[in-house]
Structure 1
Amino acid sequence: MLTAQEFIRKHKMEYTSIDVKAEMDTYIDEMKKGLCGAKSSLLMVPSYITLKSEVQREKSVICVDAGGTNLRIAAAKFSEDGTFHTEKVSRYLMPGVERELEAQEFFDILADYILPFTGITKDIVISFAYRAKILPNIDCEIIEITKEVKVRNAGGKQLGKEVCASLAKKGAPGCNIIVINDSVATALAGKAERLNDGYGSFTGTILGTGSNSCYIEYVRNIPKLGMGGDGVMVINTEAGSYDKVPRSDIDIAYDNSMQNPGIGVFEKMTSGGYLGGLCDHTLRTAAREGVFQNGFAPDKTIDTIDVNDFLTDGAGVLGDYFQAEDDMAAAREILLNIVIRAGRLLALQMAAVAVKAAKENDRVCMTIEGTTYEKMYGLKKEALTVLLTYLDSIGIKADVISVELAVLKGCAIAGLSR
């Protein structure tokens, strides 16, 4: 029989194989290629949010958080002292959750929800958590609406333009809508939260079902835009697609077993949408190689929640399955190794955007959101320890924060800094 440690070494899955210092140059090089428009696993998508001005005070903007299964809308502003205020917040299920909609009906329902706020202001920012191409006019062309939301024939439509047209039909002409990605909103949320704290730059990261990071880049460092100048722009790195990290044969086999092999390589090693499946695949491989005396072949594929339950207190599906003490210890060692490795990969992702960010000084505010980051046993502690130790070693003073109403606050910054 193989021991758990022998199995991990055999397949080159050791969490220690992820060394932020050793991997940083490769990650930054991939970022630069993406900014140039060269072939890169990091798309480095411009948001066209250029933050040209100081945040306007005492001016309202309608903020729309359209993501997952829920929709939140608020009229928001910053007071003279920089404090964030919401005048009211409304919550709904996303249109298309309860029943499938045609695209026009989807736009009309969104407009119905926004309409009561247009008496306060007609400036609107929508954070859109679905596949879309951000356009230079800061609208988006919808590629696909997925997750729990079902909308027919939305592909190719411009979200802001369509919702504006619906609002005009309903008695609110002259609305101005810009659209941003939810991870861009998260990057800007830290700026909203710490508006007066003197940070030199801001980054945002999401680690939930998926994984992504955004940061603020000098416009002159984005050759593919051909803009030049001294301004800055928020860049959506699409970090989940990064593919230059060391992968084991098990990582590759798991990736190849999925519907879209080779896509979202980094995400498949880190995020909640994939960690459970990777752990399941690894445990089944370990069983075939004789690590467990009683094998491992449950009828159900284990998920990320199952892994967290087991690592937290030995409970759940895995706790029920592994009755032999040696098998339980081996399974825990293998799973904890995968989760700690994910924490180190997250540290690499976050460190890279902190290093690359346009900075006025050596202080960086790093906002992170997501259930996998907050709840997965051992991941957050490992990520923060590795991240902050590395950044401190190169002279970057980072604060990692979570922000209440992060997406709404990010929308407000986007709408009031243009």
Structure 2
Amino acid sequence: MEFPALSPKQRQALDRIQQEFAITPDNVQSIIRGIHRSMEQGLAKPGQTLAMLPSFIVNGANGTEKGVCLALDLGGTNFRVCQITLKGVPGEYSMVQKKYLIPQTLKTAPATELFGFIADGIHDFLRENVENGSGEHTSGSSTNGEAVRKISLGFTFSFPVLQKALNHGELTQWNKGFTCSGAVGHNVPDLLQRALQARNINVQVTALLNDTVGALAACSYGHSGTLLGVILGTGSNVAYMEKISRIPKFLQEHPHLVNTPAVEQDMGINMEWGSFDNEGKVVPSNQYDQLLDDSSPNQKNQMFEKRISGLYLGELFRLVILDLVRHQLLFSGKVSTALETPYLLDSSLVSAMVDDPTPKAQGLHPKVRAELITQLGLDVDIASDADFSLARGVACAIATRSARLAGTGLSAVLLRRQDRLAVATPDDPITIGIDGSLYEHFTTFREVMIQTLTSVIGEENFAKLRIVLAKDGSGVGAAVAATMNNELPTL
């Protein structure tokens, strides 16, 4: 018995919770079939549960990309400008970067003001780093009147867009607190390009992508055979390389490519897999999932992500603990303000409890106990060894489900590309690049995810995989995308 200190009622409660969060082998197979159906639907036409968005990145990088370019990463609170030098050797680059805080007022200002502010930041960065570092100029002409080569920029823009080319993506809606007028329905690179030109800044926006496609591009620069780019952190998403002949909606938009060699090439697809099973018909759900969704601003959306990503693990843990406390099964039934405050508990607390090397029979390490009590806003005197054991059991159940779902999802995408699995070998493997704190820092999550993946595709196929950290896709990946010769010649 893993948690012998539990009372009979606590044991019964933990058994129920473990069952509610369980993902059985039958569930795994049902989820894989469901993902495959949703992938087919999303590749066939727009407006499906899985968006399956073409990235216009064709065949990935090969590691020989070389040159100096810029990357711009726009987030919810700041934007980051990077100067990245690709060395032309797989995985080798150097980077200088600077972050700029976005004033709250600009989030609701006209888009011209927001992009003007971003262009000013790029100009400031270039003054500090390009002119003073490499001797290049930022203005449109050199001192002798000759034209200066424009600096390429890759733009990581993690907002919903309708992408029509590598450098053309129309904003469909704002989120993350932005409501800037004059942007929805417009080509985002054009909005930035106009602001740059108005300031005579010698930069050309050559690529627009999101962070997941960036992870795919960054990984392909360092590793041949890259098939998947994965985000497993605060959020969760996957981009993968799909054969163009299997993207009907893309070929409908580009009929001249049908029956040409171009359709045998691969294109990066941003799955937006967080939306899988928004209808709630495939992935098992429990009362705590329902509570979390009911109180979220995006009800019935991102349902797969709500079971996997770091943003929600701490909140699910809080909801279960609060329920147990209210039923007098934990911490003497004491309900604190912290326990009643949504999203106050961080997912790092869950990972610390699950990864704690202390034998489960002893509950938790004193440091982890102290952190749990502090975050819960409780008095340590009311917590027993059994309480800590039960809390740890809850954390394990939530984290295990998250990891099993991630492993199941990755298995589904890999099995979609059986053609690549069939020709891969341990010496010439398929590469999966993963970015995010869940994979990088949460040891048990990583182990359970890999165990699930192996059990689904088999040890022989798993030996054909190389799983690597794909750090900074929003920076390096954007730079790689900006320098790649990846436009289909007939587009």
Does the alignment reach a TM-score above 0.5? yes
Q: 141-150 or 245-254: which moved more?
A: 141-150
Which residue of the other structure, out of 410, 421, 425, is the alignment partner of 1:350? 410
Partner of 2:332: 294
Shift in CA distance, 74/288, structure 1 to aligned 2, threshold 3 Å: closer
Conserved in 1, the CA contact under 8 Å of 2:63 and 2:91? no
Shift of 1:79: 3.6
TM-score by length of 2: 0.75
Shift of 1:62: 2.4
Shift in CA distance, 315/155, structure 1 to aligned 2, threshold 3 Å: farther
Q: Does 1:157 align with 2:152?
A: no
Shift of 1:191: 0.6
Partner of 1:130: 159
Shift in CA distance, 57/326, structure 1 to aligned 2, threshold 3 Å: closer
Conserved in 2, the CA contact under 8 Å of 1:142 and 1:159? yes
Which residue of the other structure, out of 53, 60, 73, is the alignment partner of 1:65? 73
Q: How does 1:109-258 map to 2 (within 5 A)?
A: 109-115=117-123, 116=126, 121-136=150-165, 138-147=167-176, 151=180, 154-172=183-201, 175-194=204-223, 198-199=224-225, 201-226=226-251, 227=254, 228=258, 229-243=263-277, 244-258=282-296
Partner of 2:371: 316
Shift of 1:343: 0.9
Shift in CA distance, 208/385, structure 1 to aligned 2, threshold 3 Å: same
Q: Distance in 1 between matches of 2:187 and 2:163?
A: 9
Shift of 1:371: 2.2
Q: Does 1:262 align with 2:300?
A: yes
**Tell me, what secondary structure is at the counterpart of 2:213?**
helix
More helix by share: 2
**Structure 1 residue identity aligned to 2:350:** V
Whose radius of gyration is greater, 1 or 2?
2
Q: How does 1:13-162 map to 2 (within 5 A)?
A: 13-17=20-24, 20-21=28-29, 23-37=31-45, 40-51=48-59, 57-82=65-90, 84-86=92-94, 89-96=96-103, 100=107, 101-115=109-123, 116=126, 121-136=150-165, 138-147=167-176, 151=180, 154-162=183-191
Q: How does 1:274-289 map to 2 (within 5 A)?
A: 274-289=312-327
Conserved in 2, the CA contact under 8 Å of 1:208 and 1:271? yes
Shift of 1:180: 0.6
**Deviation readout 1:376-415 (Å, 9 max, x if unpaired):** 4632222123224534446252121113433322123322
Q: Distance in 2 between matches of 1:368 and 1:260?
A: 26
Q: How does 1:260-409 map to 2 (within 5 A)?
A: 260-292=298-330, 294-295=332-333, 297-300=335-338, 301=341, 302-303=344-345, 304-311=347-354, 312=356, 313-318=368-373, 321=378, 323-357=383-417, 359=420, 361-362=423-424, 363-376=429-442, 378-393=444-459, 395-396=461-462, 397-409=464-476
Shift in CA distance, 393/377, structure 1 to aligned 2, threshold 3 Å: closer
Shift of 1:97: 5.5
Q: Which runs of 5+ in 1 are unaligned?
A: none
Q: 144-153 or 211-220: which moved more?
A: 144-153
Conserved in 2, the CA contact under 8 Å of 1:66 and 1:94? no
Conserved in 2, the CA contact under 8 Å of 1:188 and 1:414? yes
Shift in CA distance, 2/37, structure 1 to aligned 2, threshold 3 Å: farther
**Structure 1 residue identity aligned to 2:38:** E
**Tell me, what secondary structure is at the counterpart of 1:264?**
coil
Conserved in 1, the CA contact under 8 Å of 2:170 and 2:184? yes
Q: 16-25 or 344-353: which moved more?
A: 16-25
When the two chains are superposed, the root-mean-square deviation of aligned CA atoms in Å is: 3.1
Conserved in 2, the CA contact under 8 Å of 1:57 and 1:77? no
Q: 291-300 or 225-234: which moved more?
A: 291-300
**Structure 2 residue identity aligned to 1:114:** I
Shift of 1:155: 3.0
**Structure 2 residue identity aligned to 1:369:** D
**Tell me, what secondary structure is at the counterpart of 1:379?**
helix
**Tell me, what secondary structure is at the counterpart of 2:467?**
strand
Q: Distance in 1 between matches of 2:351 and 2:88?
A: 44
Shift in CA distance, 308/364, structure 1 to aligned 2, threshold 3 Å: same
Conserved in 1, the CA contact under 8 Å of 2:242 and 2:266? yes
Conserved in 1, the CA contact under 8 Å of 2:42 and 2:48? yes
Q: Distance in 2 between matches of 1:328 and 1:62?
A: 49
Q: Distance in 2 between matches of 1:80 and 1:38?
A: 37
Q: 75-84 or 269-278: which moved more?
A: 75-84
Shift of 1:241: 1.1
Q: Distance in 1 between matches of 2:149 and 2:332?
A: 65
Q: Distance in 2 between matches of 1:293 and 1:176?
A: 56
Shift in CA distance, 97/234, structure 1 to aligned 2, threshold 3 Å: farther
